[in-house]
Amino acid sequence: MAFLTIEKLVKTFGTQTTVKGVDLAVERGEFVTLLGPSGCGKTTILRMIAGFESATSGTIRIDGKDITDLRPNQRHIGMVFQAYALFPNMSVADNIAFGLKVAKKSSAEIAARVKEMLELIKLPQLGDRYPYQLSGGQQQRVALARALAVKPQILLLDEPLSALDAKIRISLREEIRAVQRALGITTIFVTHDQEEALSMSDRICVMNDGNIEQLGTPFEIYNYPKTRFVASFVGTLNILNGRVLDSTSGRLSIDDQEIVTARELGGASTGDTLALALRPEALSIGHANGGSNNLTGTIDEVHFLGSVVRIRVRFKDNVVSLDTFNRPHAAPPERGQPVTVNFTREDILVLDRPAI
Ligand code: ATP
């Protein structure tokens, strides 16, 4: 059995069901991210794991033990929130020591643990400072140390980076992951930022409207999205309408031009209409390329962005956007120019719902 097991978890607020029967199994030491748009139920799941919110139905087990109805302080869980939530009138060291004092640990044990935690978050000199004397990133590291000081079984992180500016956010991603790996602590991370999820997680659980849409590694989620929602929420995507010419060989038609996919057609038959997707980075511009797919069209928009030039190519009803590298000595792409867009058979994502 996995270390954290959630079964058929439901949460209803009044008449609104926010979490609609979620099943999730997280292995010991794993870093799993709940990723989804605002309001899809991520925080509610985290709060039910922590015990701040009761489950309407379903069970939560840690290491085989049913904790669904335990009080928060009986669950041995550490949590870090979006807002730093440090005690403003306590020093950094006292903030970190807080849980250990509540647990009535000896002062020698507390001092040793605080020192260890300050080293872990790379702020060994700052124990005597107060939260207002720290940057946002430092405060969030202290919040992490405070959550970890009591040696929780599971670490819950609720958008801990979203209040920080972009540069700090990226360096803290790496630090949080390094601390998590060093301790081997099972972690659930909540974010609506797809790049954060892709760069930090062992597995990502993409959520939509109270349900899990897909659970997989970042590689699987990005390259093999199972639904249109996952495909468009994670990464940038061109969506095209295609028709199945032959379901056995994977031959498709886009605006009367033939292409071939190496992907499963999701049960579609010859003659069906399908939604297809192509990542911009899978596309290149050139001459008709033997062995791969080619679609000819016309450039109908050009945006010069410096290092890249973003262009839009129209075939007939379908359009795709892609980036080409800026080359100072070559003629830039121009509106109205005919071009051939190349991509491989593996690059075509077949989305779940047929296009209308
Ligand atoms: P965000 O990224 O905005 O925090 P989220 O995916 O974490 O989004 P939740 O905070 O879990 O979403 O909220 C899901 C839904 O449940 C929202 O519609 C929210 O209004 C509702 N909700 C959450 N807590 C309560 C509550 N205590 N009472 C009533 N409704 C609530």
Q: How confident is the model at residue 237 (pLDDT cuts 50, 70, 90)?
A: confident
Q: At 41, is the secondary structure helix, strand, or coil?
A: coil
What is the pLDDT, as a whole number, of residue 352?
60
Distances in Å between the Cα of 45 and the Cα atoms of 24, 30, 68, 196, 290 are 11, 17, 12, 19, 50
What is the pLDDT, as a whole number, of residue 312?
96
From the alpha carbon of 34, which atom of ligand 1 is closest? 6
Bigger pLDDT: 190 or 330? 190
Centre of ligand 1 from the C-alpha of residue 179, in Å = 29
- Name all domains of the chain by residue range, CATH numbers in brackets: 4-232 (3.40.50.300), 239-350 (2.40.50.140)
Say whether pLDDT at 84 is over 80: no
* Atom 24 of ligand 1, residue of closest alpha carbon: 44
List residues near ligand 1 (CB under 6 A): 13, 18, 36, 38-44, 192
What is the pLDDT, as a whole number, of residue 33?
98
24-65 tens-digit pLDDT: 999 999 999 999 999 999 999 999 999 999 999 999 999 999
Asked whether 271 and 244 are in contact (CB, 8 A), the reply is: yes
Q: Rounded distance, CA 238 to CA 161, Å?
A: 29
Question: Closest Cα partner for 6 from 42, 60, 46?
Answer: 60
Asked whether 269 and 244 are in contact (CB, 8 A), the reply is: yes
Work out the mean pLDDT of the chain and round it to a whole number.
Answer: 92
What is the pLDDT, as a whole number, of residue 356?
42
Say whether pLDDT at 117 is over 70: yes
Pocket test for ligand 1, best of 34, 40, 44, 196 (most atoms within 8 A of CB): 44
Q: What is the mean pLDDT of residues 221-226?
A: 90
DSSP 174-219: HHHHHHHHHHT-EEEEEES-HHHHHHH-SEEEEEETTEEEEEE-HH
Centre of ligand 1 from the C-alpha of residue 19, in Å = 9
The pLDDT > 70 percentage for the chain reads: 97
Q: Give ∠ CA 125-126-128 in degrees, rounded to 5.
A: 115
Amino acid in position 161: L
Q: How confident is the model at residue 355 (pLDDT cuts 50, 70, 90)?
A: very low
pTM above 0.90, yes or no: no
Say whether pLDDT at 330 is over 50: yes
132-147 tens-digit pLDDT: 999 888 999 999 999 9
Asked whether 123 and 154 are in contact (CB, 8 A), the reply is: no
Pocket test for ligand 1, best of 12, 13, 82, 193 (most atoms within 8 A of CB): 13
162-185 tens-digit pLDDT: 888 888 899 899 999 999 999 999
